[in-house]
Amino acid sequence: MLFKIYFHPPSSLFYLMDNSDLLLLRNAINRFVKTSDEEWGMLLPHIEERYLDRQSDFAKEGKIAMEVGFLLEGDMRHYYTRDGIEKTTYFYFEGHFVSSYLSCITGKPSDLTIQAITDCRLLVFKYKILQNLYNLSHNWERFGRLVAEYLAIGLEERMVGLLMLSPEERYIQLLESNKQKIIERIPQHYVSSYLGITPVSLSRIRRRLLKK
């Protein structure tokens, strides 16, 4: 079954999206708050399907982010650049929300870039639409608060890992976590950057652990 959806802006083109894709997005939102059909209908007309080629950017350092994405297919990463060196700090897989959220909230240029590692397919809506929904529904307002709390927890966990654990401990923690997709699907040079080490150091850690 297909939904026909108008989205604005940038035009009044007709988009056809598979109902199953929209259901995945709704279920992801419902993990934070249970939306009624009426509340879901507030967002539905503003959803756009988008394809990103490998190495294309969803958000760009130095530019103001204005969109929230929901990843349907593919792998993405976000990274910061310092002295010309990219520091990967997070990965996105299917079922993840994708956004330079701080830039969306503050209206300031993004400090990070979100890039497609593979060809990707997303559902996308404008952050300002979400802001408008906060004023229309307490449930949507609660959704925004819970997402912000979720992101804050994730940021603190990452900071604790980088500050308190050794590179080997961080790698072991990754192996023992529920983040196996990082090990299985992400190129080693991105994984090493995520762990805060060089690819050579990661290879040494792996060899050392294999000998134990």
pLDDT in tens, 157-178: 888 888 899 999 999 999 988 8
What is this structure's pTM?
0.87
138-164 helix and 127-136 helix, angle to the nearest 10 degrees:
130
Among 125, 110, 154, CA closest to 42: 125
User: Alpha-carbon dihedral of residues 121, 123, 126, 127, nearest 10 degrees?
Assistant: -100
User: Alpha-carbon dihedral of residues 197, 198, 202, 207, nearest 10 degrees?
Assistant: -130
Looking up tokens 């923690």 gives 173
| Pairwise CA distance, residues 13 & 153, whole Å | 39
Fill in the DSSP letter of residue 111.
Answer: S
Bridge partner list, 64: 109
- Residue 71 tokens read as 């990843």
Contact assessment for residue 17 and residue 118, using Cβ atoms and an 8 Å cutoff: no
Please state whether the peptide bond connecting residue 45 to the residue before it is cis, i.e. omega within 30 degrees of 0: no
pLDDT of residue 169: 92
Among 50, 66, 51, 117, CA closest to 88: 117
Please state whether the peptide bond connecting residue 109 to the residue before it is cis, i.e. omega within 30 degrees of 0: no
Per-residue pLDDT tens listing for the chain (212 residues): 333 333 333 333 334 567 899 999 999 999 999 999 999 999 999 999 999 999 999 999 999 999 999 999 999 999 999 999 999 999 999 999 999 999 999 999 999 999 999 999 999 999 999 999 999 999 999 999 999 898 888 888 888 888 899 999 999 999 988 888 999 999 999 999 999 999 999 999 999 888 77
pLDDT of residue 1: 36
pLDDT of residue 160: 87
Half-sphere exposure of 72 (CA within 13 A, CB side): 19
pLDDT of residue 17: 67
Q: Strands (DSSP E) along 1-92, which ranges?
A: 2-6, 14-18, 48-52, 57-59, 67-73, 76-82, 85-92
pLDDT of residue 140: 96
Residues, the chain: 212
Residue type, 31: R
